[in-house]
Amino acid sequence: MNLPPVIAIDGPTASGKGTVASLVAEKLGFHYLDSGALYRLVALGSQQAGIDPKNASALGQLTKKLVISFKNGQILLNSEDVTEVIRTEEIGLRASAIAVHPEVRQALVGVQHRFRTNPGLVADGRDMASVIFPDAVLKVFLTATAQARAERRYKQLIAKGISAKLEDLLHDLQERDARDSSRGAAPLLVASGAKVLETSELSIDQAVKTVLDWYQSAIV
């Protein structure tokens, strides 16, 4: 059976992979999976349920019960629109802390596989190419310097009217990078066969074009 094609885009926090992946999906008419949102949804759900981020067993059980859906640009958790809520720095840090648990990651594998439907899927995250979709037709590791990523995040937050300090964002990103790269379960890494795309000096349009060009070459 031929499975729908997958473009897997991995990379560190604030590398721009979400924006690039969603635009690539739009251009190709593919479905889009923001796997990072899934961990943020578990983070929010666990916060609402009062579950300690270190309680791996309880987090794994909770994950299996969450009702998650993506509709018209909105992210729904148990039928509630949480699109903006899960993007806060607080939830992001909590998501990174609970993502180290194999119980949570395993519970989400099936959820992620269900997004693979025709005509194809663009999935972004930290282990899309290495763990979730190792047979992806194109694997991309999209990255940028910590300084460039912190500046992007700072501009995003300020544009939304959210106060932020650049030095604090940089520190948080560096800590998150270290945690994501050193965790035992599916650490952040460049998957075998992945193409590395450094975006510190690239515009979003340039990054999208590069991925689309790589995809066309991959399917020829």
In a domain, 74, yes or no: yes
Bridge partners of residue 74, in order along the sequence: 71
Side chain identity at residue 10, one-letter code: D
**Residue linked to tokens 């074009």:** 209
Query: CATH code at 111?
Result: 3.40.50.300
Question: What is the Cβ-side half-sphere exposure of residue 180, based on CA atoms within 13 angstroms?
Answer: 23
Helix (H) or strand (E) run with residue 139 in it: strand 138-143
Domain tally, the chain:
1
Tell me the longest C-alpha to C-alpha distance in the chain.
51
In a domain, 51, yes or no: yes
List all residues 6 or more positions away from 147 whose beta carbon is below 8 Å from its beta carbon: 170
Distance of CA 190 to the CA centre of its chain: 15
In a domain, 1, yes or no: no
Q: Is 32 left (phi over 0), alpha (psi -120 to 50) or beta?
A: beta
- What's the token pair of residue 90? 């607080």
pLDDT by residue for the chain (220 residues), tens only, comes to 689 999 999 998 888 898 999 999 999 999 889 888 999 999 999 999 999 999 999 999 999 888 887 776 789 899 899 999 998 889 999 998 998 899 998 999 988 998 899 999 999 998 899 989 999 999 999 999 999 999 988 998 899 888 889 999 999 999 888 887 776 666 678 889 999 999 999 999 999 999 999 999 999 8
In a domain, 124, yes or no: yes
Report angle CA 22, 24, 30 to the nearest 5 degrees: 80
In a domain, 17, yes or no: yes
User: What φ, ψ does residue 196 adopt, rounded to 5°?
Assistant: -90, 130
Could you tell me the pTM of the whole model?
Answer: 0.81
Structural domain of 163 = 6-219
